[in-house]
Amino acid sequence: MNANFGEELTYWYLRLNGFFIVNNFVLHRNSERQTSDSDLLAVRFPHVQEDIGGQASDWDENFFNLMDRRTNIKLDRKKIIGVICEVKTGNGFRSDSIFEPHNLRKSFGRFGFTDELDKYNDLEHNPIIEFDNYQVAKFLISRQRKNPREDCFHIKMIYMRKFIQQRMEKYQQRKMGDRMFFDSSLLQYIIWEEHLRKERLF
């Protein structure tokens, strides 16, 4: 997994909420701008389930209760959801430099939900849009306490860390036994840490 620790936390938070994820998706140069990337693109389908950690009670209700108060559009598990994530692990980033329109358009097109790419225009100014049976949302993941922008949802990194920790605690026995199958040293460490906590070894 070619990602920094913030992107890894985001990857596993989304993965544990039923998403398939592509990280560091390359947005090739064209006449608009030079080559860039999208930190994470993820898609979730309505009927996703797994025997371990993929049941209705496992999903983060706070995540699926997120709503754009201006449009009253809420994340809906009954729809196909695409998310575009920007992950910032420092406090010094420029909030006006993320979700640039040309990158949004390329990311939106990658989902393949529609060939009417002008639908992405509404995503420039809103955290979430919906059409037919699809939703597309923008997420900023950061250390900041408050969302610096109104046109995207915001999740704090420390919140994601806590959610992942709780999930590893809930399924600790299975996760500990299978920890080396996960292609993430960060997740392996969180699983091991929860094992130590449960066994009162630290």
What pLDDT, in 10s, does the model give residues 24-75?
655 545 555 554 556 789 999 999 988 887 888 899 999 999 999 999 999 9
Query: What does the domain layout of the chain look like in residue ranges?
Result: 5-161
User: What's the rounded mean pLDDT across residues 84-110?
Assistant: 86
pTM here is 0.88
- Asked if residue 9 has pLDDT above 90, the reply is yes
DSSP symbols for the chain? ----HHHHHHHHHHHTTTEEEEEEEEE---SS---EEEEEEEEE-TT--BTTTBSGGGS-HHHHT-EETTTTEE--TTSEEEEEEEEE-SS---GGGSS-HHHHHHHHHHH-S-S-GGGGGGGGT-SEEEETTEEEEEEEEES-SS-S-SSSEEEEHHHHHHHHHHHHHHTHHHHHHTGGGSS-HHHHHHHHHHHHHHTT--
Specify the CATH number of the domain 5-161: 3.40.1350
pLDDT > 60? residue 95: yes
